[in-house]
């Protein structure tokens, strides 16, 4: 089933980050003071990913405002959605990078302190969101959150995707990740010295790419260190914010046993739900409705009424 990548109108805002880079935020405007939904996309996604559009369209239908964060190097040109916009600094983004989310949350909450701020993260974006919530257990800026198809254990997920159907996704993602690594190395020669570009461009696995590029580029010793320090599995026990976590037992991005471990580690503030089927960011009902997105929005809406 295909969906439009332009379900909602955007107002794009470029914000300067503390380290001199920029983040592109795509806003869905609405009534002043109404709840605002902050959405984080998955690996190599953007504000134009169909699930981001679906969540924002659902928020708009409820009279809420919305804002989608485009992780660094992920923003798309509105006139050409196949073209991404490179960022200014010698870094990209990754599953455990929470400083940009922290910056955006604090900016949004200070701009509109009286309006409820909700957050939804999908896949990689869900891992980032859960990690941030665990790191900031005492936060009050985000009222409630939802995370869909989160790869809680990045190392186990990388191993799992090297087998069977997961290889299909790996090939797709690595194609664009290699282009970004090569572009960054060409623009920032000093940063290129920290990575093994030859290996990054030739590897056929996430672990190989993360060991050669993602890890060393962002201050990790390699893939193992990156996975250990960035997996949300180690942070969900500290989450105090009301949070809904939706996953599928047949998600090709991670073994089902990880979901059992995540459920066992989850704090009492997390409503952890697993369905037998749904794939990765799938969850399409027999009637053609996108169950996970609707469930997440309904769950957060109920929290607002309490």
Q: Catalytic: 110?
A: no
Output the CA–CA distances (angstroms, integers) from residue 152 to 18, 99, 137, 188, 258, in the order listed: 28, 19, 18, 32, 7
Q: Catalytic: 27?
A: no
Helix 291-305 to helix 50-61 angle, to the nearest 10 degrees? 40
Active-site choice (100, 153, 211, 251): 251
Active-site choice (95, 123, 231, 248): 123
Q: Per-residue DSSP letters for the chain?
A: ----S-SS--EEEEEE-TTS-EEEEEEE--STTS-EEEEE--TT--TTSHHHHHHHHHHHHTT-EEEEEE-TTT-EETTEEEEE---SSS----TT--HHHHHHHHHHHHHSTTS-EEEEEETHHHHHHHHHHHHTTT--SEEEEEEES--S-HHHHHHHHTSTTHHHHHHHHHHHHHHHHHHHHHH-HHHHTTS-HHHHHH--SHHHHIIIIIHHHTT-SSHHHHHHHH-GGGTGGG--S-EEEEEETT-TTS-HHHHHHHHHH--TTEEEEEES--TTTT-B-TTS-BHHHHHHHHHHHHHHH-
Q: Catalytic: 280?
A: yes
Hey, which residues are catalytic here? 123, 251, 280
């Amino acid at each position: 089933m295909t969906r439009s990548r332009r379900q909602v109108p955007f107002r794009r805002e470029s914000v300067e980050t503390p380290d001199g880079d920029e983040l592109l935020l795509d806003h869905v405007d609405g009534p002043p003071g109404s709840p605002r939904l902050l959405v984080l996309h998955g690996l190599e996604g953007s504000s134009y990913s169909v699930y981001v559009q679906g969540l924002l369209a659902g928020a708009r239908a409820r009279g809420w405002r919305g804002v989608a964060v485009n992780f660094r190097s992920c923003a798309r040109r509105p006139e050409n959605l196949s073209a991404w916009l490179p960022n200014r600094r010698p870094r990209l983004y990754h599953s455990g990078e929470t400083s940009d989310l922290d910056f955006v949350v604090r900016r949004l909450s200070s701009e509109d302190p009286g309006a409820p701020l909700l957050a939804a993260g999908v896949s990689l974006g869900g891992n980032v969101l859960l990690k941030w919530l665990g790191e900031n257990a005492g936060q009050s800026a985000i009222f409630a959150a939802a995370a869909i198809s989160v790869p809680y254990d990045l190392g186990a997920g990388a191993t799992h995707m090297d087998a069977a159907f997961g290889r299909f996704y790996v090939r797709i993602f690595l194609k664009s990740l290699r282009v970004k690594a090569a572009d960054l190395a060409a623009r920032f020669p000093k940063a290129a010295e920290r990575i093994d570009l030859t290996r990054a461009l030739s590897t056929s696995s996430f672990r190989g790419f993360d060991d050669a590029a993602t890890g060393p580029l962002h201050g990790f010793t390699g893939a193992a260190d990156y996975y250990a320090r960035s997996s949300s599995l180690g942070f969900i026990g500290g989450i105090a914010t009301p949070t809904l976590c939706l996953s599928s037992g047949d998600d090709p991005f991670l073994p089902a046993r990880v979901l059992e471990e995540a459920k066992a580690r989850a704090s009492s503030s997390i409503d952890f739900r697993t369905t037998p089927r749904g794939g990765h960011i799938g969850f399409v009902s027999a009637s053609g409705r996108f169950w996970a997105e609707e469930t997440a929005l309904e769950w957060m809406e109920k929290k607002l009424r309490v």
